[in-house]
Amino acid sequence: MLAAARCVLSRDLLLALRRRSDVATALLFFVIVASLFPLAIGAEPNLLREIAPGVIWVAALLSSMLSLSRLFAADHADGTLEQMLLGAAPLGVVVLAKAAAHWLASGLPLVAIAPVIALQYDLPAVLYPVLALSLALGTPVLSLIGAIGAALTLGLRGGGVLLALLVLPLYVPVLILGAGAVEMSAAGSGGEAQLLLLAAALVFAAAFAPWAIAAALRISSE
């Protein structure tokens, strides 16, 4: 199982490296969306500090959705997905590796660049680790939840719109906890509770989402 997961992970990362434009598009979208708010609101430091966590998290959420529709589409088109369904390795392990590769290609860059984006909002430097940690815990949950929606809408016409309708309501708790962790830390109350809840959500999603994704793929392939 570990060998199969490692093979799928390295394969998807190699494909992501060959399609650098897709990765760059999601990252550029995140930068543009997060940068528009300071330009529209103006140089009001207090207001910018207040909205920074929510804006950055919303931009990260929308950016992570850009590549979800392509998560299984290429494998479905060339027949690789059928081989995964028929393979000896558990499908849950395979899709977990694919979700991990998706996060490494689309979520990890957002975590790395978020503190740079926070400079535009005059966010205190002591909050940068909290912001990065909240994104590091929350964006994998977004990838796992989004993978369920991508599997359910695989091969459907207009699946991108349906995918957004399916996953956006499920993203709301992660968004609230992620932005709330930074806001509570900025208020001096500490964001440990929100971070712990995000960690618990990540453990729960990592344990149960792969099997939900596998079931959705089997339904979509029939």
pLDDT, tens digit, 9 for 90 and up, residues 124-173: 888 899 999 999 999 999 999 998 988 888 877 766 778 888 888 999 99
Residue with tokens 């349906």, as numbered in its chain = 162
In whole angstroms, give the CA distance from residue 58 to residue 213.
24
pTM given for the model: 0.88
pLDDT of residue 46: 85
Evaluate whether 91 touches 83 at the Cβ level (below 8 Å): no
Q: What does each C-alpha distance from 165 to 38, 107, 149, 175, 216 come to in angstroms?
A: 28, 21, 9, 16, 16
Evaluate whether 210 touches 99 at the Cβ level (below 8 Å): yes
- Residues with Cβ within 8 Å of 51's Cβ and at least 6 positions away in sequence, in order, are 37, 41, 121
C-alpha count within 13 angstroms, C-beta hemisphere, residue 221: 19
Burial grade of 177 (CB within 10 A; 0-12, 13-18, 19 or more): buried
pLDDT of residue 158: 65
Instruction: List pLDDT tens digits, range 186-210.
Output: 888 778 889 999 999 999 999 999 8
Average pLDDT score over the chain: 86
C-alpha count within 13 angstroms, C-beta hemisphere, residue 119: 5
Closest by CA position to 66, among listed 164, 162, 202: 164
Instruction: List pLDDT tens digits, range 55-99.
Output: 999 999 988 888 787 788 777 777 777 777 777 778 888 888 888
Residue with tokens 């599997």, as numbered in its chain = 151
Q: What does each C-alpha distance from 75 to 14, 48, 82, 97 come to in angstroms?
A: 14, 43, 8, 14
| Domain assignments of the chain as residue spans, ordered by start | 2-221
